[in-house]
Every structure is written in structure tokens, then in C-alpha cells.
Amino acid sequence: MRAQRIESLDLPELQPYRTMRRQAEHRQQGIFVAEGEKVVRRLLESTLSVVSVLLPEKWLRELEPLLQARGEGIQVYVAEKALLETLTGFSMYQGLLAVGRVPPLPTLADVIAQSPQPWLLAAADGLSNAENLGALVRNCAAFKAQALIVGETCSSPFLRRAVRGSMGAVFHLPIVETASLTRALHDLRERGVRCIAAHPHSDGRTLADANLAGDCCIVFGSEGYGLSPAVLAACDEAAAIPMPPTVDSLNVGSAAAVFLYEANRQRSRS
């Protein structure tokens, strides 16, 4: 660990923090920003590579054991909290940030080869809201999904708000990024994996009717439009969470929690 106290944010090495809102640049550089005490702590506890940490003096003392235990020489920048708040334009509760490197992501074949059966996978189609995608990642980790397949129309799970929304679960959950979600679903079906669409218009078929005890992949759609016709057609079946007619759908994070909990319940009885 190398600690350096700073009084301005002009150092070239601090460019990732100054450009937190320019997510495309971070994507091209293969880096991401972690934000908040729990998320930064979980990053330091993970096997992912950490480039630097930017924090107030208080958090340097709190996190020093974790920083010292890391194998790489992490550059730590120490600044007043008021200076750090100029990065976001609003008061930061903790003023704690870190930059990590996006790890090499597994392929679908890697996940299948390394996961015990019965497989429980999740997939996302058209999720543009990073916070919702982060919530989906967190629920996948909480309910023992072995991987999340992210379609070509989704945001990256390593956007700053997605990382924050996942509460660091993205550091541990295998993420498969595919150039064609429909092709990935066809590949799964050829392996005997049932692909089940979480879809509110399922011709009366509810979640209770779906068999989630065997190898399956549950596919979740976008906030506004649900699943695209091509992705819906690539699934074996669709199932809906029973709700009164005054509510047509749930937030994707809530829907994922319900579907994945039901999958765990069915598996515990098998």
C-alpha cells in the first residue's frame, strides 16, 4: 500500500474518478468504480485487481489491514471529504471510492463446465437501468444462481451504479456477456436446460406451474417493455407471478427475488 495525501484532484492518476459519469471511457479501459464502504470493502476482500483507492483519513485507518493484505501495491489517495464531494456534486455519506479492473469474463461453456447440476442460471434482456441490473445481480447471488447471462441490449453490470446496486455481489457472481442472447438460449436448450421467461402475459401460466427443480435458466426483461419477441420466442415457456389486475408487473429486482426463491424452494424439496 502506498498512501499519498492530496489537496486537489488534478493528478493524471485520478482521471477515472474525475470521469465517473463517462462510463463508456471506463468500459474501454476495462475499469470500474466502486463506491461506499461496504462495496469498497468487498472489492478489497475479493480476488479482483484493485488499481487505487480514494478516501478520507478516517477510512484509511479502518481499511488499512485489508489494504496491507493485498498482494498488489495499491495506490491510496487521502483527501478531505469536502474535496471528494466535488466529484459527485452532492454530499457523500462516506466519501469512499476505489477503482478496480473488470475481470476476464467466463463464457457460457465455462460456466456450464464449472457448475454442479442442477444448473440454475439467470439471463437479462434489455435492462438499461444500471441500478436495476445491480439489484438483479444481488438477487442472483442471494438465491444461488450460478451465473447471470447479460444480453447484448443490456447495460454492463460493471457500471458504477450497477456495482453499487449489487452491493459488491458482482465481484463474485460469474457474469456472461453475450453478443446474442437468443443464440445463448438456443445453446442452453440444446444442452437440456429449460429456458423460462419471466413474463406477465403468459396465457394464464403462473410461477407455480413452472418446473424449476431441474436445469433451468430464468430470463428477465426490461423495465418498460419486458422481453423482446425474439428472446421470448427462444424460451421454452413463460410464467407469471400471480398479481391482481391493478398491478401489471414488478420491478425486475423484485421479480427475480420471487422467481429465484421459488427455484430454491422447489430444489429443497427434490
- Supply the DSSP string of 5-39, one letter for each residue: E-S-S--GGGHHHHTTT-HHHHHHHTEEEEESHHH
Give the pLDDT confidence score for residue 83 in this predicted structure.
87
Q: Model confidence at 189, in pLDDT bands (50, 70, 90)? A: very high
Q: What is the mean pLDDT of residues 236-253?
A: 88
CA-CA distance, 45 to 40, in Å (whole number)?
A: 9
SS3 category, 87:
helix
Which of 174, 172, 187, 179 lies closest to 153 in space, CA to CA? Answer: 179
The set of cell numbers assigned to 238 is 413463460
CA-CA distance, 159 to 92, in Å (whole number)?
A: 18
For 53-67, what is each residue's pLDDT tens digit? 999 998 999 999 999
For 200-242, what is each residue's pLDDT tens digit? 877 778 999 999 999 999 999 987 788 999 999 999 999 999 9
| Residues facing 54 on adjacent strands | 77, 97
Tell me: pLDDT of 248 over 90: no
Question: Model's pTM, two decimal places?
Answer: 0.93
Helix and strand numbers, DSSP H then E, in the chain: 11, 11
Give the pLDDT confidence score for residue 92 in this predicted structure.
54
Q: Model confidence at 93, in pLDDT bands (50, 70, 90)? A: low
Peptide bond just before 106 cis, omega within 30 deg: no
Within 13 Å, how many C-alpha atoms sit on residue 62's CB side? 14
Could you list the beta-strand ranges (E) of 84-146.
Answer: 97-101, 120-124
Q: Model confidence at 8, in pLDDT bands (50, 70, 90)? A: very high
Tell me: pLDDT of 187 over 60: yes
Tell me: pLDDT of 103 over 80: yes
Domains of the chain and CATH, by start: 2-101 (3.30.1330.30), 108-269 (3.40.1280.10)
CA-CA distance, 110 to 114, in Å (whole number)?
A: 6
Indicate the residue type of 240: A
Give the number of other CB atoms < 10 A from CB of residue 261: 14
The set of cell numbers assigned to 111 is 460456466
